[in-house]
Amino acid sequence: MRKLYVFDTTLRDGEQSLGITLNAREKIEIARQLVSLGVDVIEAGFPASSPGDLESVSKIAKEVKGVTICGLTRAVEQDIDICAQALKQAEAPRIHTGIGVSPVHMEKKLKMTPEQVIERTVAAVKYAKKYVHDVEFYAEDSFRSDRTFLVKVLEKAISAGATVINIPDTVGYASPWEYGELIAFVMNQVKNIDQAVVSVHCHNDLGMATANALAGIRNGAGQVEGTINGIGERAGNTSLEEVIMAVFTKPTAYGVESRINTREIAPTSRIVARITGVSVPDHKAIVGANAFMHASGIHQDGVIKDRDTYEIIKPEDIGVPQNTISLSARSGRHALQHRLEELGYPVEGADLDDVYERFLKLADAKKEIFDQDLFALMGDKESFTESIQVKNMSFATNLSKIATATVTLELNGVETTDAATGNGLVSALFNTIGRITGNTAGVEDYAVKSVTRGNEAIGEATVKLRNDKGALVVGKGFSTDVIEASAKAYINAVMKSR
């Protein structure tokens, strides 16, 4: 099989999306994760665009090893000088230079004739070649160019020393059959194309970036350019994880293989989402929250029996521990029984029928059923903290940040009310519950996060207590009210520490 080189431009083209501006530290963190992922080339930025980008590219070139570090330039000597300076300490530097080749770019943006564009192309590639051996040339807006002219430009660029030829669909105008045909045309008509690697760079304006990139690969391209999570200008770029897994899942269809460690896909996606602040849609292919979630009762039954019935990718292949069965009113007995067994409740026969009827009543009242709901359904007192119930809570606070919590708890059928102060509402709440329950274990850690989505999202509170013997116990609490969830978590931990 042919080698497929994976060129990641998350730090350059991806950063241009939605006003994202990453500092050098953030870029280095992403770059190191991209090395773990196994990409071949990291386009670290456009050094001539700003002092900050110059600094970031320079630091990445110095600190990130085991991968080609690339910098973007226009076909301008000053840009190339600055890029070469930024890449000076790179283990394997690449300069990515180029110019627009479509009629609209040449006439409206560049104000240049086709002959002038060819002259600038040759000059830029030769100038970059003085600094580095590895020079990639991009023929911007290739898809909308005149093909005869495109062939001339590419032949001249390769003769001048370009090692990689980038054929972008800059505005995402192509469809897969058209873009695949363009790459085949380049492979067949550019006389010296065997001296360079053909690269595909597609945008997603019509939602076809991934399909177009794969069509290009199938027709001879040896490098794919894209971003993690598909971020990028306008509608984004080719989503690298989608291309990678398409090739991984159907290698013979494309005739290529890469050195990507697919198990690092999910961690890389999470890091990029966290640092850029661009969240991944739940329905996003490969890395979305719902990518391995099964909600339909028929699907759940099939997956439980054999994952191949509804999964073409194993979740662990991309670094996700397991698929998810989302329990709701659409779930069948088999899915409920399977999850209960995982939680330690083997049920069958008449018992299962009884539990399932109660489950359906609960599911009708809630959109989604969580493990805590199942604990309650099965009467697990420790997990659902039934022996200690919160009956009432009220709070008072002022600008001095000292808060007072008044709490009524029911302990084994007896209601007790007390109050205490603390440095904030949660501190006061914990101090009050501690007084009522006689807890002496100290709070080691406390955290709250959302475990569902939407306006009625359920919050999950986690409280870690360390008791007098040094043992650490963990309590969990769930509620749409984070204060109530915190109280439940603290009580759950108190019960476990006894």
Evaluate whether 301 touches 335 at the Cβ level (below 8 Å): yes
pTM comes to: 0.68
Token code pair at residue 321: 């521990």
Structure-token pair, residue 213: 């990139």
Averages of pLDDT over each 10 residues, the chain, 498 residues: 96 76 86 97 95 94 97 98 98 98 96 97 98 98 97 98 98 97 98 98 97 98 97 93 94 93 90 82 78 54 57 73 58 75 72 80 68 62 58 86 91 90 92 92 86 60 81 74 89 80
What's the Rg (C-alpha) of the chain?
Answer: 29
CA distance 118 to 470: 74
Dihedral angle, C-alpha 214, 217, 223, 226, nearest 10 °: -10
At 382 the pLDDT is 40
As a whole number of angstroms, the longest Cα–Cα distance in the chain is 91
State the Cα–Cα distance between residues 439 and 411, nearest whole angstrom: 13
Q: Which domains does the chain have, with CATH numbers?
A: 2-276 (3.20.20.70), 293-379 (no CATH), 385-497 (3.30.160.270)
Which amino acid belongs to residue 176? P
User: Measured between alpha carbons, how far is 138 from 154 in angstroms, rounded to an integer?
Assistant: 9
Nearest to 1 by CA among 257, 230, 192, 246: 257
